[in-house]
């Protein structure tokens, strides 16, 4: 029979899918001898069974819980059920899903207190403490079990303090009892009652925690983090220890390393004389953990020791909740700490240096998304120098964002849905704000520390966040925020720097951060493992430099048409296309050759002897012709021709289906002189640079080949030009390569026939996808969302390779090529070459390299390594 309950000390191999993350960790911590309050876990399966059939509780679980409570009484030598025994056992009831979902589900503390037992607790400790516990119970129970807002109770307590003209710490017994009666009246107003029997309290609490698996914020969180709805939450019932029983008591949260930067060393916060909720809720701003060293030195030393033990055991940074009860330390829970991408990279790097994990494990742990986050923007240094921050808070989660300020999660959602970039400003956030937080660019809170709800959630989402910005006086009613003399209102723009904690007025320009030393080192580890190399699609000096800085192994695609688009060049190109005679055409060609030669020289100077594939002209010629009336007039003037005549010429060049028309290698068949000019430009630049000692092997690529005869014809033409160039320059021939793109289905199916004429191959998956699906790559955005909504396609095949269809054609082509020529290089230069999932498939089918835009290189390098792990 399936077991529904396990005590912490007995689960032999704690499984988070059965015990939840928290339960499994409590079991492990108990078993390695750490000071953990005693307790038991009700399994995740029990939760799912109960949610399907609530009778399960009364029929099966209730008896088992009673037995477990009796055993816990035995274990702790305390009493849960009897209202006369001074040895009180109070328990907490906490949710615990297999994956951590901070703050999304419910917890109730101090269960077991009632009108009689609160007096026993007061006798043992003190009046203020005992009634504080009881009020908290009434409040949490109302919230979790009956969904009565907590604020109702806070207001009552505040009013009582005003009426009695003293703080609740100073209340007499009678005054405490008055407040308790008022708290109970809140229940009664709704026709409800707070159960006095501890067992009734416990049963109601367990059921409510089970039900909290399906509350709205938990569902949204699961959707966001792709956590399955069918897992369920375990329930942990644990002996209470009290962080609020005086000034030698405390509660806190520590990380074994800094979750924002990854820096080694205890990092965290605590509050003296407080209960756990107070630290994470961000209501009081807590103390830095290092201060505990002077306040409670023995507990601090123990904490340091146990946290190090835990980190060694889990071989990862831990997020640990602890409580100190009258000087004695208890650990309440541990889990792998949530962290920023920057911290994750630093931590994995350090753990390898400390020999806790190996490089492969580090690469397994670092997600491609982590890298993507690291490549998130920061504010431009120049702009920062020229401005001054108006406020500073805690740098809770790095990143930079500008947007209009708004004061509630709901408004944030509404404004974002209208297309605004929003910064959510709150005194503190709570789990109900989750949807508004997701919709925002950044979150700023005036209260709360580095472990407050806002900070934890933002770090989890990789979102910029500043917390504890106490100088901000936020008024949700008037929708204004005041900071000194400055008053900002809803809709004003601010810029938030999550890395420094600084907040600025107005919008600041952003830039990308990237060249981080640790990141570079980790990517070198990735390169050691990856077999698929990563090149770049780049042709401007800036892009090439970026690509080289990101350690591209070469340039997989330099699109030469991109080099014709500045004002002078496009005019020359237009003159070439519209030329009426040889003379005009040759003049234009000579000028273009001059431009291209200079470009290629500059490119080779950067790339040196790394491979660089230069692709000859690809798009239909009319793409270079004017679009607007103004451009047309200008061109007519430049060419000194009549507008009507010009229009007629342009009309002749128009095509019904240009992407299927007169483009790519087809241009070389009708106008061989264009490719000849480009080949001359390439070789002239190479010859000059080879003289200065750079060993360049030019690689020339022909686009849109469908038929072997096309390729053999063009290759012949190009080789004739090359030999002429060698002869004209009186130099010994040197090595060069002529290859082809595989971007038409026929080229893939007949790749064996192309192989004798191609020194290398590169899949153009943009065109190959276009031609395989018959989806126009320029128009798909207009209709793909219908496909998504109706689940006809779940992804965009231009962004993620269609492995089943396009991928199959690629597999066929590779098999053909490899059966004839094992050594010829095969790459991919379409957009999917930078997509991590696609890289996994491409590695499997035997591609040698992927080529992508420079900023995608780090992720592609990591993905290439992950494909081998």
Contact residues for ligand PEP, defined by CB under 6 A: 557, 559, 618, 743, 764-767, 829-830
Alpha helices in 550-581 (DSSP H): 567-578
Q: Hey, what are 39's tokens? A: 């307790």
User: Can residue 833 be called a binding residue for Mg ion (CB under 5 A)?
Assistant: no
- Give SS3 for 603: helix
Q: Which is nearer to ligand PEP, 30 or 765 (CB)?
A: 765
Give dist(CA 346, CA 265) in Å, integer.
13
830 binds, among Mg ion, ligand PEP, none (CB under 5 to 8 A by kind): ligand PEP
- The residues that bridge with 234 in the sheet, in sequence order, are 96
Comparison of 249 and 762: residue with beta carbon closer to ligand PEP: 762
- Residue 370: which H helix or E strand, with range? helix 368-374
Considering beta carbons, is residue 260 or 850 the nearer one to ligand PEP?
A: 850
Those residues whose C-beta lies under 8 Å from the C-beta of residue 854, and which sit 6 or more positions away, are 536, 538, 543, 546, 547, 550, 552
User: Which of Mg ion, ligand PEP, none sits in contact with 829, Cβ below 5 to 8 A by type?
Assistant: ligand PEP
Residue 248: name its binding partner from Mg ion, ligand PEP, none (Cβ under 5 to 8 Å by kind): none
Which segment (8-16, 297-305, 311-319, 756-764) binds Mg ion by CB under 5 A?
Answer: 756-764
Measured between alpha carbons, how far is 14 from 18 in angstroms, rounded to an integer? 8
d(CA 808, CA 845): 9
Choose the binding region for Mg ion from 191-199, 295-303, 736-744, 833-841 (rule: CB under 5 A): 736-744
Beta 533-537 vs 555-559: how paired, if at all? parallel
* Cβ–Cβ under 8 Å, residues 472 and 444: yes
Least Å distance between CB 271 and ligand PEP? Answer: 58
Q: Does 831 bind Mg ion (CB under 5 A)?
A: no
- The tokens describing 50, both together, are 């109960």
Residue ranges of E strands in 669-781 = 699-702, 737-742, 760-763
What are 741's strand-pairing partners? 762
Count of chain residues binding Mg ion (CB under 5 A): 3
For residue 853, CA distances in Å to 531, 540, 819 come to 19, 12, 31
Nearest 10 degrees: Cα torsion 103, 246, 306, 73: -80
Q: Which residues pair with 253 in a beta bridge?
A: 269, 321
Please state the closest distance from residue 319 (CB atom) to Mg ion, in A: 48
At residue 131, the 3 state secondary structure works out as helix
Q: Does 743 help bind Mg ion (rule: CB under 5 A)?
A: yes
User: What DSSP element (H or E) covers 70?
Assistant: helix 62-76
Residue closer to ligand PEP, measured from CB, 557 or 592? 557
Distance CA 357, CA 343 (A): 16
Torsional sign, CA 574, 577, 580, 581: positive
Q: Which long-range contacts (CB under 8 A, 24 or more apart) does 287-295 make?
A: 289/252, 289/254, 290/266, 292/250, 292/252, 295/250
* Rounded least distance, CB 230 to Mg ion, Å: 44
> Considering the complex, what minimum distance in angstroms separates the CB of residue 99 from ligand PEP?
38
Closest approach, Cβ 659 to ligand PEP, in A, equals: 9
Give how far Cα 373 sits from Cα of 526, 551, 794, Å: 18, 19, 24
218 or 557: CB nearest ligand PEP = 557
Cβ proximity to ligand PEP, 431 vs 764, nearer residue:
764
Q: What are phi and psi of 328, to 5 degrees?
A: -95, 130
Q: Which residues are 700's β-sheet partners?
A: 614, 738
Which of these is catalytic: 47, 133, 665, 829?
829
- Cα 845 to Cα 442: distance, rounded to the nearest angstrom: 41
Nearer to Mg ion, 767 or 802 (CB): 767
CA atoms in the 13 A half-sphere facing the CB of 790: 5
Residue of minimal Cβ distance to ligand PEP: 764
Q: How far apart are CA 413 and CA 399, in angstroms?
A: 20
Residue 806 C-beta: closest distance to Mg ion, Å = 13
Taking the least distance from each CB to Mg ion, the nearer of 764 and 854 is: 764
CB of 807 to ligand PEP, least distance (A): 14
- Which one, 257 or 559, has the nearer CB to ligand PEP? 559
- Taken as a whole, the chain contains a residue count of 869
CB-nearer residue toward Mg ion: 597 or 618? 618
Which residues lie closer than 8 Å to 2 by C-beta, 6 or more apart? 45
**Residue 829 a catalytic site member:** yes
Nearer Cβ to Mg ion (168/660): 660
Q: How far is the CB of 555 from ligand PEP (least distance, A)?
A: 13
Candidate segments 309-317, 453-461, 758-766, 846-854, binder of Mg ion by CB under 5 A: 758-766
Which of 453, 622, 816, 852 is labelled catalytic?
Answer: 453
Site map (CB under 5 A) of Mg ion, residues 763-802, x = contact: -x--x-----------------------------------
Whether 453 is catalytic: yes
Nearest partner of 774 among 802, 738, 816, 754, judged by Cα: 802
The residues that bridge with 377 in the sheet, in sequence order, are 512
Closest distance between ligand PEP and the C-beta of residue 767, in Å?
3
With CB under 5 to 8 Å by kind, the binding choice for 143 among Mg ion, ligand PEP, none is: none
**Smallest distance, ligand PEP to C-beta of residue 785, A:** 22
Binding segment toward Mg ion, per CB under 5 A, in 120-128, 385-393, 738-746, 795-803: 738-746
Which of 663, 667, 683 lies closest to 675 in space, CA to CA? Answer: 667
Helix/strand/coil percentages in the chain, nearest 5? 50, 15, 30
Candidates 152-160, 246-254, 643-651, 742-750; binding stretch for Mg ion (CB under 5 A)? 742-750
Stretch that binds Mg ion, among 258-266, 378-386, 707-715, 741-749 (CB under 5 A): 741-749
Tokens of 436: 């508004």
Nearer to ligand PEP, 455 or 557 (CB): 557
DSSP E strands: which ranges in 391-479? 391-392, 394-397, 400-406, 422-426, 442-445, 464-467, 473-475
- Pick what 765 binds: ligand PEP, Mg ion, none; C-beta below 5 to 8 Å, kind-dependent: ligand PEP
Applying CB under 5 A, the residues found at the interface with Mg ion are: 743, 764, 767
Which amino acids are annotated catalytic? 453, 829
């Amino acid at each position: 029979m399936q077991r529904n309950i396990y005590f912490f000390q007995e689960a032999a191999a704690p499984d988070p899918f059965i015990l939840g993350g928290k339960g499994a960790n409590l079991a492990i911590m108990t078993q390695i001898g750490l000071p953990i309050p005693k307790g038991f876990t009700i399994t995740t399966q029990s939760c799912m069974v109960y949610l399907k059939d609530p009778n399960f509780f009364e029929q099966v679980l209730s008896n088992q819980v009673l037995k477990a409570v009796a055993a816990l009484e035995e274990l702790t030598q305390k009493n849960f059920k009897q209202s006369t025994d001074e040895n009180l056992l109070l328990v907490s009831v906490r949710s615990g899903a297999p994956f951590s979902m901070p703050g999304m589900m419910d917890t109730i503390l101090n269960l077991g207190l009632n009108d009689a037992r609160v007096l026993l607790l007061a006798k043992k400790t003190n009046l203020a403490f005992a009634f504080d516990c009881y009020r908290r119970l009434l409040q949490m129970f109302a919230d979790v079990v009956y969904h009565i807002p907590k604020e109702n109770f806070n207001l009552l307590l505040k009013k009582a303090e005003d009426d009695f003209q003293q703080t609740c710490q100073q209340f007499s017994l009678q005054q405490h009892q008055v407040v308790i009666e008022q708290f109970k009246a809140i229940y009664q107003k709704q026709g409800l009652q707070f159960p006095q029997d501890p067992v009734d309290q416990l049963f109601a609490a367990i059921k409510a925690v089970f039900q909290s698996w399906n509350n709205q914020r938990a569902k949204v969180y699961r959707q966001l983090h792709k956590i399955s709805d069918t897992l369920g939450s375990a329930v942990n019932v644990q002996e209470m220890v009290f962080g609020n029983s005086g000034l030698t008591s405390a509660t806190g949260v520590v990380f074994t390393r800094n979750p924002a930067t990854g820096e080694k060393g205890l990092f965290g916060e605590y509050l003296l004389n407080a209960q756990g909720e107070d630290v994470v809720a961000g209501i009081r701003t807590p103390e830095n953990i290092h201060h505990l060293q002077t306040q409670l030195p023995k507990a601090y030393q123990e904490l340091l020791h146990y946290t190090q033990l835990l980190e060694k055991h889990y071989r990862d940074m831990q997020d640990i909740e602890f409580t100190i009860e009258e000087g004695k330390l208890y650990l309440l829970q541990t889990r792998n700490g949530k962290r920023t991408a920057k911290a994750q990279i630093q931590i994995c790097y350090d753990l390898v240096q400390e020999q806790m994990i190996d490089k492969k494990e580090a690469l397994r742990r670092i997600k491609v998304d982590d890298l993507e986050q690291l490549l998130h923007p920061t504010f431009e240094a120049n702009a920062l120098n020229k401005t001054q921050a108006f406020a500073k808070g805690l740098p809770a989660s790095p990143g930079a964002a500008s947007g209009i300020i708004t004061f509630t999660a709901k408004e944030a959602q509404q404004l974002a849905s209208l297309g605004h970039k929003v910064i959510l400003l709150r005194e503190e956030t709570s789990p109900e704000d989750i949807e508004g937080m997701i919709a925002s660019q950044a979150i700023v809170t005036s209260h709360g520390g580095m472990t407050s709800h806002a900070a934890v959630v933002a770090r989890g989402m990789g979102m910029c966040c500043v917390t504890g910005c106490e100088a901000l006086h936020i008024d949700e009613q008037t929708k204004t925020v005041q900071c000194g003399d400055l008053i900002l209102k809803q809709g004003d723009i601010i810029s938030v720097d999550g890395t420094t904690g600084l907040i600025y007025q107005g919008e600041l320009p952003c830039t990308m951060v990237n060249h981080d030393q640790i990141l570079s080192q980790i990517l070198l580890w990735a390169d050691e493992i990856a077999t698929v190399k990563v090149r770049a699609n780049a042709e401007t000096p800036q892009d090439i430099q970026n690509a080289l800085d990101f350690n591209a192994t070469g340039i997989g695609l330099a699109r030469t048409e991109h080099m014709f688009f500045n004002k002078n060049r496009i005019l020359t190109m237009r003159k070439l296309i519209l030329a009426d005679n040889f003379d005009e055409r040759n003049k234009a060609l000579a000028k273009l050759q001059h431009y291209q030669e200079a470009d290629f020289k500059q490119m080779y100077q950067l790339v040196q002897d790394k491979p660089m594939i230069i692709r000859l002209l690809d798009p239909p010629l009319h793409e270079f012709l004017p679009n607007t009336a103004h451009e047309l007039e200008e061109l007519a003037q430049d060419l000194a021709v009549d507008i009507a005549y010009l229009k007629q010429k342009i009309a002749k060049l128009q095509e019904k289906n240009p992407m299927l028309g007169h483009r790519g290698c087809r241009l070389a068949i009708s106008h061989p002189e264009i490719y000849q000019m480009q080949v001359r430009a390439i070789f002239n630049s190479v010859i000059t640079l080879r003289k200065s000692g750079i060993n360049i092997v030019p690689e020339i690529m022909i686009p849109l080949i469908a038929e072997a005869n096309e390729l053999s014809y063009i290759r012949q033409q190009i080789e004739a030009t090359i030999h002429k160039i060698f002869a004209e320059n009186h130099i010994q021939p040197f090595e060069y390569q002529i290859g082809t793109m595989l971007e038409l289905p026929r080229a893939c199916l007949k790749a064996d026939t192309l192989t004798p004429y191609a020194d290398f191959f590169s899949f153009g998956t943009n065109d190959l996808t276009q031609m395989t699906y018959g989806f126009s790559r320029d128009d798909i955005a207009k209709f793909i969302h219908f496909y998504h909504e109706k689940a006809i396609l779940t992804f965009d095949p231009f962004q993620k390779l269609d492995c089943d269809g396009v991928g199959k054609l690629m597999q066929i082509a590779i098999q053909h090529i490899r059966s004839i020529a094992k050594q010829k290089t095969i790459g991919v230069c379409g957009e999917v070459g930078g997509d991590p999932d696609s890289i996994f498939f491409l590695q499997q089918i035997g591609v040698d390299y992927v080529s992508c835009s420079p900023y995608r290189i780090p992720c592609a390098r990591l993905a290439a390594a992950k494909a081998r792990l």
